[in-house]
Amino acid sequence: AYTDQDVADFIERGRRFFDRDKNLDIAFTAEPKIDGLSASLRYEGGEFVQGATRGNGAVGEDITANLRTITDIPKHLKGSGWPDIIEIRGEVYMTYAEFKALKERSAAVGGQDYVNPRNTAAGSLRQKDPSVTASRNLKFFAYAWGYTSEDPAPTQYDSVQKFAEWGFKISPLMVRAKSVEELVAHYHLIEAQRSSLGYDIDGVVYKIDQLELQRRWGFVTGEPRWAIAHKFPAEQAMTTVLRIDIQVGRTGTLAPVARLAPVTVGGVVVENVTLHNEDYIKGLDSNGQPIRDGCDIRIGDTVVIQRAGDVIPQIVSVVIDKRPPDAVPYQFPHTCPICGSPATREINEKTGKEDSRRRCTGELICPAQAVEGLRHFVSRGALDIEGLGAENIDLFFNAGLIKTAADIFTLRDRRPAVTRALAERREEQARQREAASGKTRKNVRGVEERNYEGLDKLFDAIDARREPELDRFIFALGIRHIGETTAAVLARTFSTIEELIRIGKETAAAADPHTVFPSINGIGDTVIGALRDFFGNERNDDVLDALLAQVHPKPYIVNVSADSVVAGKTIVFTGTLEKMTRSEAKAMAERLGAKVAGSVSAKTDLVVAGPGAGSKLKLATELDIEVIDEDAWLQRIGKA
């Protein structure tokens, strides 16, 4: 819920559901939605025996030792009347004061910079050494329960009050209410106190109070019908644009970023915000229509920023009255700031419209595009090479060890050079810590003496990706407009990388690509044009040949059962899947002859919804489309 009307609609749904019981007196609870990490605590005979993160709602990490270090979590329940077995649920969080102190301690020794209290609390709770967790002074609010041998009390409110009697901290802002007006009034009361609480909250949660009514209304796809979160509007703050930098992305897009005077928004220090593209800076959207009342953004401007969804910072307006007299319109560069190649705005052949993004034409000769392409190649949706993240890609690229994707697969042959690069980075990090702390190390070993045992694990992880699935390999190539779904369509259509290359080259050489490239559902002129550009570029030939000398993508084999119950159906997956990744679910459905769509429409036959499903689930319900959970999906296709 984002508006008062959404709350009224929630209550009305509840009253309609229970309409057959005209005399029913429905009550609700309202409490702050703590922005932390959810945890579950199992007590047996009053003793804390196990703790875990809530994970995806069904499976979490066992962090019992770390949770025992939190003083708000009792090791033995106090008082009496607690069930023999109960799973207490709550939120682990870090206060602003503790977060600030941790940042100061870390900065003093040249340690890492922490982003925000929520992420820091989550990282602190997952430490291998419980003493590190203990040093972070984490807090815990109890607000619910899972499995229990008996209910703590007949209502939600009274049950949570029992938690306090048993030794837990509970929110002092939890209340019981009877009407929309009371709930909304409490929401605005909490919103007014938000900045003074000393910890992050991002809304208010409403629940039906009577446990019997909760059971009667039930759940849908793992989420309770009897509860709803009323989110706060994004917090705003005012700051100054210090400069505008240009970053170059994997496909050559010149992405402007505003560097701001640091300002705290919702407990997070914001210093950078994306400006998207040239038109956005000018005060225009992608259709040339005014935004921000048509006001452009200039260096020196005072701007109002907010964190969209309390996550992504964005500029919402420019304070013209505060604009410096010498501020001039920003001149967007027409050449790449990295390689100096021309940066152009392409024209859409169909519409004749100019792209709002300006791109470097240097492609593989541009270092920025090269390193971003390498990062993409090893990313999760692509080859997913464990241990070869952005930090190591940058290190090996700057050391000259990898320039193209093929070089990744020869790193084992250059172990001494890899070791030296890692050692030099570690030495530099140590020198920085020394400079910050004023302390000098003793008995420092030379870089040649270092033994990096993790290297064999890295090399093995690389070798394990020498025969990737064809769709992953196509996606890993980083061809413009080829996402994971399109890569799967191409893999299913052409079956082998050799066939795709053959068609790609013939399409690139043809005067009219449509005379060569087959008609494929889901593949339009934009994708065909991107394939034509890629396979028609001679510089890509050498790169691809070298890569295929090291990597051998598996042929894409589709075994569609003639009697598959989902063959020919359009399916949408939404929410969190607990037994497989989204990519695995898509691949499974496609191999059974189904089409997997990214959005719900009247043409959708089935929606598979997991915990956290939102707008897609809502639309499916409105369109009366069949909705099932993951277990039902697996049973339907015979994979349970």
Q: Return the beta strands (E) in 85-162 as ranges.
A: 85-93, 139-148
How far apart, in Å, are the Cα atoms of 61 and each of 50, 118, 132, 279, 525? 11, 17, 17, 46, 46
Helix count and strand count (H, E) for the chain: 22, 21
Place of tokens 């008062």: 4
The C-alpha atoms of residue 217 and residue 230 are separated, in whole angstroms, by: 19
- Determine contact, residues 200/91, Cβ cutoff 8 Å: no
Q: Which amino acid type is present at position 16? A: R
* Chain centroid to CA 30: 28
Which long-range contacts (C-beta less than 8 Å, at least 24 apart) are formed by 585-592? 585/633, 586/485, 586/488, 587/471, 587/488, 588/637, 588/639, 590/488, 590/492, 590/558, 591/558, 591/559, 591/560, 592/560, 592/561, 592/564, 592/566, 592/567, 592/637
The C-alpha atoms of residue 267 and residue 114 are separated, in whole angstroms, by: 12
Q: How far is the first Cα of the chain from the last one, in angstroms, to the nearest whole number? A: 34
Place of tokens 């890295």: 458
Which long-range contacts (C-beta less than 8 Å, at least 24 apart) are formed by 159-162? 159/211, 160/29, 160/31, 162/81, 162/82
The C-alpha atoms of residue 229 and residue 29 are separated, in whole angstroms, by: 12
- Determine contact, residues 572/618, Cβ cutoff 8 Å: no
Among 33, 139, 586, 595, the one annotated catalytic: 33
Dmax over CA atoms of the chain, in Å, equals: 83
Place of tokens 């956290």: 612
Task: Give φ, ψ of 633 to 5 degrees.
Answer: -60, -45
The C-alpha atoms of residue 244 and residue 571 are separated, in whole angstroms, by: 43
User: Is 33 assigned a catalytic role?
Assistant: yes
User: Which 8-state DSSP code applies to residue 414?
Assistant: G
Beta bridge pairs of residue 205: 31, 229
Burial of 297 (0-12, 13-18, 19+ CB in 10 A): buried
Q: Which amino acid type is present at position 488? A: A
Q: Kindly list the catalytic residues.
A: 33
